[in-house]
Amino acid sequence: MPRDFEPPRDFTIRERCEHRLTSMKALRKPSEPDFKEIARLALPSRSEYMTTGSLTRRANTSKQDTAGRVAGRTLVNGMATGLSSNARPWFELTTPDSELAQYRPVKEWLYAEQQGIYAFLARTNYYDANKVAYAQLGHMGHACNFMIEHSRYLMVAHPMEALEFWIAQDDGLRVNAVARRVAKTVAQMVETFEWRKLSDQVRAAYNRGAVHMLVPCMHLIEWNKDRDGDYWDYGNKPWRSIWWDEGVSSKKDEDLLRVSGYDSKPFSCPRWETTGAQVYSDASPAYDALPDLRELELMGREYGRARGNLVKPALNVPAGLQQTPISVDPGSLNFVNEMQGKVEPTLRPDPNVLVAIERGRDAVTRRVNQLFYADLWMAITDMEGIQPRNQEELAYRNEEKLTQLGPVVDRVHIEKLEVDIDRVHSIRKNLGLVAPAPPELRESGVAIQFVSILAQAQKAAANSQIERIARFVGFLVGAFPEAALKFDAQQAIDEFAQNTGTTPKIIRSDEVVARLMKAAQEAAQAKATQEAAPALRDAAQGAELLSRTQVGPEDRSMLDQLMRV
């Protein structure tokens, strides 16, 4: 055995959490300069929790151009309206079994729970928190939103700033741990945690009335891989939650503020784009637009200097006029001795410089808007009504942008909205607001189908391909009738209806269509037989008449004579 071998020692919960937090901080550190630069250029007044735990606010004093701020606001409003609007449905509850979905008790339960979730979300701050999350996602490339059950407000959503939290992911590349720094006031500490768990400093501050003093706390939520599924106490819930006061140096477990757990994932962490085992996104509209945002800042300064030189240029004043008051206000009169010289501009600014700078700024602004998908978001927010044709028109006009946004929308659906809906359902269940589900749902489970404007528009973009091939086949059928056999019209109808979110009630199944086609063929055959019946009857009567008519020497019938011919 090596001499430097040391047997493993047991770490306390706080020691283990701090070790994990150290590694999570190392993962985020390379991205922090970009976060700060994006905040300076596009989110100058956004609050940030810095590494010291103190709340700072960057004043909007360095901004020379507002194009990035306007484009960012357009992106946030467009994502909020296009993905999870509080003014129209954006998800539906269903089941993977299409036949079971039409079973009346299952159908009624799914609809009741769906409406219950919508009503629950409307009573909370969820939609306001979503805007902050979309802002972080579109600018920093990732976002985090905690959804915590609350005794008075049912649920409270806590959106996090980019420098306020750290994340880690599992072997499935899904975020399974979040650590965040939370600056709670003394009053909030007393409301949130047990009195005996608070530090002496916090209790003393509360007793003397300093209830608004900030206390830096750490909160770690992680997947509880050590849980025992046979027990359902706090220590064995699927998600483990650990709180500690950073100002307390003790590492003992009994000095932690709280150790508890959650039945469902209490946070959602969508990311704009990741590659391989990458945890933090290295792409976002604001990140891609950083060079243009810097250029806009520079051009803004140059425009201000050029306009200032044009309106109030620098002057050359003779030394002999140093004690002579001179006014440059419009209409002012200055009397000077010609021998002393004259006052004149140092440089004579060219007004065309302003025009050139404005054109350059317009070009860069257009690039920024393109990177933020401003045209697409404006098309979404300006849509009137919720008719399906609006999604189709949006798809036709912005098919390329919708294709580029496809992976991002899928990530938001999987990493955020599905998690949020599952979390709300779990909270409602804990509050006794969910009716017992039909037994048939226990095996099939519940599926979430997104029907937001953006989701439907992306599906409608696929319909343009169906329409093109249908028109092409119709063109060929005129010259080559057999081309119609190559096109499955019934399948095309099914996919077109699914992409546009058409209710399945008005689209018949393949089995029903087969029965109807068989019945139609049988009806057509019966009709043809009925129409041919008079002719057959007349033919039979004529044959009988000929058989009775005797002709010729052998008294043969005329029918027999005709048969011999």
d(CA 65, CA 414): 36
Per the CB < 8 A criterion, the answer to whether 206 and 190 are in contact is yes
* Residues 170-183: b if buried by 16+ CB within 10 A, e if exposed: eeeeebbbbbbbbe
| One pLDDT digit (tens) per residue for the chain, 565 residues | 444 545 456 789 999 999 999 999 999 999 999 998 898 888 876 644 433 445 555 555 556 778 888 999 999 999 999 899 998 899 999 898 877 887 888 989 999 999 999 999 999 999 999 999 999 999 999 999 999 999 889 999 999 988 889 999 998 889 999 999 988 999 999 999 999 999 999 999 999 999 999 999 999 999 988 777 666 566 688 999 999 999 999 889 899 999 999 999 999 999 999 887 789 998 999 999 999 999 998 888 888 888 888 877 877 777 777 777 777 777 777 777 766 677 777 777 788 888 888 898 999 999 999 999 888 888 776 665 555 555 556 655 666 677 778 889 999 999 999 999 999 999 999 999 999 999 888 888 899 999 888 887 777 766 777 777 888 888 888 888 887 788 788 787 777 766 665 666 677 766 777 787 788 777 777 777 766 666 656 666 665 655 666 655 555 665 465 456 5
Write out the two tokens for 380: 């979404």
Cα dist from 134 to 68, 408, 551, whole Å: 15, 12, 102
The candidate with the shortest Cα–Cα distance to 409, out of 265, 267, 272, is: 272
How confident is the model at residue 2, as a pLDDT? 45
Per the CB < 8 A criterion, the answer to whether 110 and 95 are in contact is yes
Per the CB < 8 A criterion, the answer to whether 448 and 418 are in contact is yes
How confident is the model at residue 500, as a pLDDT? 62
The candidate with the shortest Cα–Cα distance to 392, out of 497, 506, 503, 504, is: 497
Per the CB < 8 A criterion, the answer to whether 357 and 301 are in contact is no
d(CA 334, CA 344): 12
Q: Which residues 6+ apart lie within 8 Å of 355 measured at CB?
A: none
The reply to whether 140 falls in a domain is no
What is the distance of C-alpha 318 from the center of its chain?
Answer: 65
The partner residues of 146 in beta bridges, in order of sequence, read 158, 267
Return the ∠ at Cα 405 (arms to 451 and 392), rounded to 5°. 50
DSSP conformation class of 11: P
How confident is the model at residue 544, as a pLDDT? 60
DSSP conformation class of 329: S
- Domain span at 532: 525-564
d(CA 184, CA 368): 37
How confident is the model at residue 137, as a pLDDT? 96
The reply to whether 380 falls in a domain is no
d(CA 83, CA 90): 7
- How many beta carbons lie within 10 A of that of residue 427, not counting itself? 24
The reply to whether 545 falls in a domain is yes
Q: Which residues 6+ apart lie within 8 Å of 440 measured at CB?
A: 100, 103, 105, 106
State how many domains the chain has: 1
d(CA 290, CA 284): 10
The reply to whether 534 falls in a domain is yes
- How many beta carbons lie within 10 A of that of residue 243, not counting itself? 20
The pLDDT tens digits for 45-84 are 664 443 344 555 555 555 677 888 899 999 999 999 989 9
The reply to whether 557 falls in a domain is yes
Q: How far apart are the first and last CA of the chain?
A: 118
How confident is the model at residue 147, as a pLDDT? 95
The reply to whether 540 falls in a domain is yes
d(CA 288, CA 68): 12
Write out the two tokens for 382: 């300006």
Match 């017992």 to its residue by tokens: 436
Hey, what long-range contacts does 98-103 have (CB within 8 A, 24 or more apart)? 98/504, 100/440, 100/441, 100/444, 103/438, 103/440
Residues in the chain: 565
The reply to whether 555 falls in a domain is yes
Strand 447-450 with 550-551, pairing: unpaired
d(CA 429, CA 268): 19
Write out the two tokens for 187: 């009053």
How confident is the model at residue 49, as a pLDDT? 44
Q: Transcribe 66-80 into DSSP letters.
A: -HHHHHHHHHHHHHH
d(CA 482, CA 25): 65
Specify the pTM: 0.78
Per the CB < 8 A criterion, the answer to whether 416 and 270 are in contact is yes
Q: Which residues 6+ apart lie within 8 Å of 229 measured at CB?
A: 236
The dihedral through the CA atoms of 105, 111, 117, 123 has a sign that is negative
d(CA 122, CA 59): 33
DSSP conformation class of 131: H
Query: 453-477 and 388-397 helices cross at what angle (nearest 10)?
Result: 80
The partner residues of 181 in beta bridges, in order of sequence, read 218
The reply to whether 544 falls in a domain is yes
The partner residues of 319 in beta bridges, in order of sequence, read none
Q: Which secondary structure element, helix H or strand E, spans residue 113, and what is its range?
A: helix 104-122
